[in-house]
Chain A
Amino acid sequence: DAGITQSPRHKVTETGTPVTLRCHQTENHRYMYWYRQDPGHGLRLIHYSYGVKDTDKGEVSDGYSVSRSKTEDFLLTLESATSSQTSVYFCAISDTGTGANVLTFGAGSRLTVL
């Protein structure tokens, strides 16, 4: 929905090039997450943020970095893209980060690395 947008929605790039995916929210939520979705693996957490300039690694963080300089934006960078990073990337947000932590997801960014 309009509260969270991802860009670009589709990207094709070549091996070795840097790629940045952007997640933008208008909900003023504190927590933001990047996941990747691959067949047979479901959703896997790459990185997450619990505030401006506060980030931490998830289970599949190698080859990825993130930045959060403003509450509303969370950037995911592939420093040197590889074919194994071909995937659909989802950004998610949540307001509490505690208890029944319900996530709201963006529509996804499909990345193809040739």
Chain B
Amino acid sequence: GNSVTQMEGPVTLSEEAFLTINCTYTATGYPSLFWYVQYPGEGLQLLLKATKADDKGSNKGFEATYRKETTSFHLEKGSVQVSDSAVYFCALSDPESGGSYIPTFGRGTSLIVHP
């Protein structure tokens, strides 16, 4: 079946540091890949997505590149801010999942950014 594996957190950084959160996946077919972000006390919201190999999704200074050869979709940001403190979820939707596109989520990675 499909699965998403994320690095365990929390990830603790100082403001303006470089961020990488690793995500690898297993899928039957050719999935679409997503990063969602959850700020404290809120629901998840889409941060970025990519639908085919070598696509780069980007939003709010965050980027992730769909790497089919390494089945990865790592999240990066060049300079984090305190306001980026949140939980980040990697996810995929796979058309080969019995015709269902229901997303599979990773366990989430907590990011804490200190001033």
Contacts and interface: CB of A to CB of B under 8 A. Distances in A.
A107 B42 CA distance: 5
A65 B101 CA distance: 21
A42 B101 contact: no
B32 A90 contact: no
What does DSSP make chain A's interface, helix, strand, loop or mixed?
loop
Contacts of A45: 102
A107 B41 CA distance: 7
A64 B49 CA distance: 31
A58 B100 CA distance: 11
Nearest to A38: B107
Interface residues of B, number: 21
A84 interface: no
Contacts of A106: 43
Contacts of A70: none
B44 interface: yes
A102 B34 contact: yes
B51 interface: yes
B103 A99 contact: no
A41 B51 CA distance: 25
Contacts of B12: none
B51 A42 contact: no
B25 interface: no
Contacts of A102: 34, 46, 49
Nearest to A102: B46
B102 A98 contact: no
- Among A43, A92, A107, max chain B CB count under 10 A is at A43
- Among A42, A104, A107, max chain B CB count under 10 A is at A42
A74 interface: no
23 contacts: A42-B105, A42-B106, A42-B107, A42-B108, A43-B89, A43-B105, A43-B108, A48-B102, A58-B102, A90-B43, A90-B44, A92-B43, A96-B101, A98-B95, A99-B95, A99-B101, A100-B32, A100-B51, A101-B101, A103-B44, A104-B45, A107-B42, A107-B43
